[in-house]
Structure 1
């Protein structure tokens, strides 16, 4: 029987300049810091951690958009280079502006970002996608 979200073990938490990154066994949750411009260079920094934690295993990525920050959507065209084992990509959005941003980002991302209104639902979806 799968573990509930509350029972799931956090493997490691990083408080970085770009934000807070929480690693679970098969996925991560990132909360990008207020005002950061998240682009290819920041993604490469994050990929060093995903390589450390997931190695060659498929993993899920949840962007918990609790802060306001900017994204370089055209950098998504190189996402497979940065995260070759990324299997599922989700975002938790809290307003219409964030949802509109996801719609634009999806124009540049091959498999798209699935959006959710709360973190627990996103985590449940990610875990199902990774099974």
Structure 2
């Protein structure tokens, strides 16, 4: 389910940013990304996203990330290693899977990451998990 079609879009305050490769929704302590169909999410796109996030939040904010995988696209799983080297803006992530193949890919990504990654089967599950993170409470 796309974020804007969910009940959360009516109950939570957010800002929306549209990039060439997808849209994301900004909240106080997390953001939701929906990558466009057929995109290959690589280093260049990650850097564009991170620059945009730092412009919005500043250089010292920590966030959780929800990948709402409503579209079929590819991602370089090695990108998760970036957050080992960065003074990391991301402290946790949740990958929402709507297909078996996406869930399997999320397992691989989870192995590549040093930050906690929650595999979720719904946007509601992912948002509730993020809202319960001890770093934000």
Q: TM-score, normalised by structure 1?
A: 0.87
- What's the C-alpha RMSD, in Å, of the aligned pairs? 1.8
Uncovered stretches (5+) of structure 1, i.e. residues with no partner: none
Deviations 1:62-92 (A, max 9, x none): 0000000001112221234457121120111
Find the counterpart in structure 1 of residue 53 from structure 2. 50
How many residue pairs match? The answer is 127
Contact 2:91 2:115 in 1 (8 A): no
* Cα distance in 2 for residues equivalent to 1:83 and 1:76: 13
- Secondary structure of 1:46's counterpart equals helix
Q: CA 1:113–1:62 in 2, change beyond 3 Å: closer, same or farther?
A: same
Aligned match for 2:81, one of 77, 92, 103 = 77
Asked whether 1:114 is paired with 2:118, we answer: yes
Contact 1:47 1:82 in 2 (8 A): no
- Secondary structure of 2:70's counterpart equals coil
Q: TM-score, normalised by structure 2?
A: 0.84
Find the counterpart in structure 1 of residue 98 from structure 2. 94
What does 1:15-54 correspond to in 2, within 5 Å?
A: 15-54=18-57
Contact 1:26 1:54 in 2 (8 A): no
Q: Please state how far the C-alpha of 1:125 moved relative to its aligned partner.
A: 0.9
